[in-house]
């Protein structure tokens, strides 16, 4: 059976995530303890106790979500559950790269800590927002963003999540204007997102440049058994890729999760397993294919149910 592992991105975090997994499984405990040792951050405390305000800071969110996903992944691996394909949304791509063996666990933790810090702190001073646009095709969204940016305001598409959900990013007033115009153009909903910066846009150029220096110190491997999908264009990583360049550009480039779904469908994936908090990614998969066989593993109950069904 062809299986894909999906790793969630920012916004999925919730105080208490992973606590029951940590308490029940030694292999999960080890992941949290190792992530804390490598980063010098008490990742357990952050995930299990918060407070929410701290957990929601980009510099904390990214390492917290990744560690929780990897802790659950470790239990799956111990139980012989493997995947042919791995992918993730934004920071979730690091879970996919670690699973595929392209980056080591230790390097992945170091990188996501730096990435979260730069994305949370090297931001321009102006007021920026992001909004999810639901029920309108991305071409129409691009067209309206261009009309507004032609007036001298900054606004672009930042995430192509699936055919019916696209995220825009830009100056606060440009986002407000776009939300109104997109609703008039037929969008079912336009929702402001609780984010701290214009992620996946050129406005994070400083963060990208700082992150490039961190990537210089990392060794990347070719993936042998697992195919990992790039966020930047929805294609597989291959041995000729400049991974450093891809991961640096990822900070200022739109996320193409829509293309990742297309590729997995083309590859006839039979089972999609989202590993970590939330159920956003399987939701996107279901939007494209209602019949898709999806699972979300984010606590002991869902983990044990999944393992029971896959004996």
Active-site amino acid positions: 90, 200
Q: How far apart are the first and last CA of the chain?
A: 14
Residues 174 and 128: their CA atoms lie apart, in Å, by: 9
**Structural contact between residues 200 and 251, judged by C-beta atoms closer than 8 angstroms:** yes
Instruction: Supply 47's token pair.
Output: 């995930």
Rounded-to-10 torsion of CA 212, 72, 35, 4:
-20
Strands (E) in the chain, as ranges, are 3-7, 85-88, 128-134, 155-162, 165-171, 189-192, 227-228, 255-256, 271-275, 294-297
**Structural contact between residues 88 and 230, judged by C-beta atoms closer than 8 angstroms:** no
Residues 153 and 157: their CA atoms lie apart, in Å, by: 14
Rounded-to-10 torsion of CA 106, 111, 113, 116:
-150
**Structural contact between residues 237 and 230, judged by C-beta atoms closer than 8 angstroms:** yes
Considering Cα of 29, then 64, then 190, then 255, what sign does the dihedral take? negative
Residues 63 and 110: their CA atoms lie apart, in Å, by: 9
Rounded-to-10 torsion of CA 74, 79, 80, 83:
-50
Residues 144 and 151: their CA atoms lie apart, in Å, by: 11
**Structural contact between residues 167 and 174, judged by C-beta atoms closer than 8 angstroms:** no
| Residue pointed to by tokens 């400083």 | 206
């Amino acid at each position: 059976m062809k299986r894909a592992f999906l790793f969630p991105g920012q916004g999925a975090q919730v105080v208490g995530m992973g606590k029951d997994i940590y308490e029940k499984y030694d292999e999960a405990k080890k992941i949290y303890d190792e992530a804390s040792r490598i980063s010098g951050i008490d990742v357990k405390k952050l995930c299990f106790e918060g407070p929410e305000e701290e957990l929601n800071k980009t510099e904390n969110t990214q390492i917290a979500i990744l560690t929780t996903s990897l802790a659950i992944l470790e239990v799956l691996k111990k139980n012989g559950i493997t995947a042919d394909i791995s992918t993730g949304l934004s920071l979730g791509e690091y879970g996919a790269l670690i699973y595929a063996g392209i980056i080591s666990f230790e390097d992945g933790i170091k990188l996501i800590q730096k990435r979260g810090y730069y994305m949370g702190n090297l931001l321009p001073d102006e007021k920026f927002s992001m909004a999810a646009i639901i029920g309108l095709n991305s071409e129409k969204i691009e067209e309206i963003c261009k009309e507004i940016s032609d007036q001298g305001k900054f606004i672009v598409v930042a995430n192509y999540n699936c055919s019916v959900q696209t995220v825009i990013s830009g100056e606060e007033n440009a986002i407000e204007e776009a939300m109104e115009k997109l609703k008039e153009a037929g969008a079912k909903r336009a929702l402001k997102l609780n984010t701290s910066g214009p992620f996946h846009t050129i406005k994070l150029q400083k963060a990208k440049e700082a992150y490039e220096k961190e990537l210089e110190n990392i060794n990347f491997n070719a993936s042998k058994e697992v195919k990992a999908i790039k966020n930047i264009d929805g294609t597989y990583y291959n041995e000729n890729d400049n991974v450093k360049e891809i991961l640096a550009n990822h900070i200022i480039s739109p996320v193409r999760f829509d293309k990742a779904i297309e590729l997995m469908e083309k590859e006839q994936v039979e089972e999609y397993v989202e590993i970590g908090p939330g159920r956003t990614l399987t939701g996107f998969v279901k939007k494209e294919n209602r019949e898709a066989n999806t699972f979300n593993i984010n606590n002991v109950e869902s983990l044990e149910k999944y393992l029971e069904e896959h004996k």
